Amino acid sequence: MSAKLLLGQTLSFSQSPFDGSIDASVNHLRRGAVLVSDGKIAQVGSADAMIAANPEVLQINYGDSLIMAGFVDSHVHYPQTAMIASWGKRLIDWLNSYTFPEEMQFGDSAYAAEISGRYLDLTRANGTTTMCSFCTIHPESVDAFFTEAQKRGQRVVAGKTCMDRNAPEGLRDTAQSAYDNSKALLAKWHGQDRISYAITPRFSPTSTPEQLESMGALWAENPDCLMQTHLSEQTDEIEWVRSLFPNARDYLDTYEQFGLLGKGGLYGHAIHLEQREKDRLREVDGSLVHCPTSNTFIGSGLFDMAGLISDGHRIGLATDTGGGSSFSMLRTMAAAYEIGQLRGTPLHPAQLLWLATVGSSQSLWMDDKIGNLSAGHEADLVILNLSSTDAISQRAMRANDIWEAIFPTIMMGDDRAIEAVWIGGSEAR
Ligand code: GUN
Ligand code: ZN
């Protein structure tokens, strides 16, 4: 693959903007360049110097647009694509009324392929290059998603969702079949091209202790895999977990008892945590995943970003499509900002962009490969037009610095702000 030189404003991170000053954390070049070669980022630097050093290389000029790492969405349900924005329910009713009937259809390989392709096209149009997805209980739903991702050359994580109780007939497996099917899918897909398998018990209410134990055993046998689930999203859910697991110390303990707490574990939502749960999650370096549009849409609560990040938690940002009301990480950053405001702790635009790229890739333990404009990283990029609508443009025109120029796009931008997306070193269309 021949090298290409992308010209525009560039933005990368040298450290977390939660740890030090914004200026010390961010590298912004007004006239920057990214050299892409063999699917990787070969170099990032000033445009003048890099043009002079690479006179033969084809240039692609994005003008004033901003070149940065593609967005990483660390918790989604691709099978919920077609029922996103379903009205008026809270978590358990929402699952029973809208989600489970839709997920029932994914034993049909053709339907699973259609929705996988639709989901990947919609998210690419919104600048997302990697995601970590729940599938359904059907192995066909996993095969379809990985096949479509592989066609697009994308780095993705996904797994068969396991449920053996409190779900309708047709959407339940067993402890044994969940183990056997997950193991076979893991052997088939994990490490193929840019694909990773995640062991995926949906959440404690829909798994028997026997199933949680079988998932824990599979994770112990495959410790390099991620494990994803849900934790403490709504107070009614937590009460339900308490009644289903009377001997557990708390919600997290229903995972801990069965070998499902550890490094590489991804815990979606994590809103209503007790101190013991926070301490244990911190000790094992588990990943918490903040899903702000979902938390407001389903009415779940306000994630404590400031408190958890200052305590040193590993935190990713996610849409949680279709409990989340968007496919866009721009919209998701805006919602994270609004939740921060409601808690009295607004997030800086640099912190929002960091969460949507580096933070999410850290939550997936992939920050050595994706999530930053950094030499050696895979060339998954998004190019943002910072004046994509009249409303955004008239505000950005008054900007005094790069953050005032970017923030209107974070708050008001949509897929019109996505000028281009690169996946694995090629422009994706
Ligand atoms: N908890 C268990 N399953 C789900 C789901 O599909 N979406 C959300 N938001 N929470 C869940
Ligand atoms: Zn979820």
Residue 116's domain is classified under what CATH number?
3.20.20.140
Under 8 Å between Cβ of 277 and 305: no
The predicted structure's pLDDT at residue 216: 98
Pocket lining: 99 vs ligand 1, CB cutoff 6 Å: yes
Q: What is the whole-number distance in angstroms between the Cα of residue 410 and the centre of ligand 1?
A: 26
In this structure, which residues have their CB less than 5 angstroms from ion ligand 2?
268, 320
Same domain membership, residue 79 and residue 15 = no
* Helices first, then strands: H and E counts in the chain: 18, 16
Domain final residue pick, 314, 334, 363? 363
Q: What is the pLDDT of residues 23-58, one digit of tens each?
A: 999 999 999 999 999 999 999 999 999 999 999 999
What is the domain-level CATH number for residue 398? 2.30.40.10
Q: In the predicted model, is pLDDT for residue 418 greater than 80? A: yes
Q: Tell me: do 51 and 146 sit in the same domain.
A: no
294 lines ligand 1 (CB under 6 A): yes
Q: Please count the other Cβ atoms lying within 10 Å of the Cβ belonging to residue 391.
A: 11
In order of 41, 126, 152, 165, the CA distances from 426 in angstroms are: 11, 17, 10, 44
Please indicate, yes or no, whether residues 299 and 188 belong to a single structural domain of this protein: yes
Contact 51, 68 (CB under 8 A): no
Threshold 0.75, pTM exceeds: yes
Are 30 and 109 contained in the same domain? no
Q: In this structure, what are the phi and psi dihedrals at residue 41, rounded to the nearest 5 degrees?
A: -85, 115
Residue 429 CA to ligand 1 center (angstroms) comes to 31
Cα 36 to ligand 2 centroid, rounded to whole Å: 34
Indicate if ligand 1 lies below 6 Å from the C-beta of 77: yes
Q: How many Cα atoms occupy the beta-carbon half-sphere of 407 within 13 Å?
A: 17
The conformation of residue 167, written as its DSSP 8-state character, comes to S
C-alpha–C-alpha distance, residues 194 and 380, integer Å: 12
Closest CA to 80 of 49, 41, 38, 123: 123
Interval 304-321 mean pLDDT = 98
- Of 324, 341, 363, the one marking the end of a domain is 363
Residue 290, C-beta contacts closer than 8 angstroms, at least 6 positions apart: 269, 270, 303, 305, 315, 316, 317, 318, 336, 355
Question: How is residue 97 written in tokens?
Answer: 């009324």
Probe residue for ligand 1, chosen from 76, 80, 203 as the CB with the greatest number of ligand atoms within 8 Å: 203
Which residues are within 8 A (CB) of 238 and not within 5 positions of it... i.e. 6 or more apart? 232, 251, 272
Band of pLDDT at residue 429, cut at 50, 70 and 90: confident
Give me the pLDDT at residue 1, please: 61
The preferred substitution site among 83, 95, 161, 171 for testing ligand 1, maximizing ligand atoms within 8 Å of CB, is: 95
Angle subtended by helix axes 175-189 and 139-151, to nearest 10: 20
Query: Containing domain of residue 354, as a range?
Result: 71-363
Tens-place pLDDT, residues 98-137:
999 999 999 999 999 999 999 999 999 999 999 999 999 9
Query: Is 323 found in the same domain as 233?
Result: yes
The Cα 326–Cα 310 span in angstroms is 28
- Ligand 1 site, residue 230, Cβ cutoff 6 A: yes
Final residue of a domain: which of 363, 394, 417? 363
* Rounded Cα–Cα distance for residues 54 and 375 (Å): 16
Question: Is the same domain home to 31 and 132?
Answer: no
CB 202 within 8 A of CB 229: yes
Element housing 235 (H / E): helix 235-244
Taking CA atoms only, the protein residue closest to ligand 1 atom 8 is: 323
339 pLDDT more than 80: yes
The answer on 118 and 17 residing in a single domain is no
Percent of the chain topping pLDDT 90: 99
Cβ of 320 less than 6 Å from ligand 1: yes
Q: What pLDDT does 224 receive?
A: 97
**How far, in Å, from the CA of 95 to the mean position of ligand 1?**
7
Ligand minimally distant from the alpha carbon of residue 320 = 2
Say how many Å lie between the CA of residue 115 and the centre of ligand 1. Answer: 18
For residue 331, the number of C-alpha atoms closer than 13 Å in the C-beta half-sphere is: 18
Q: Is the CB of 237 under 6 A from ligand 1?
A: no
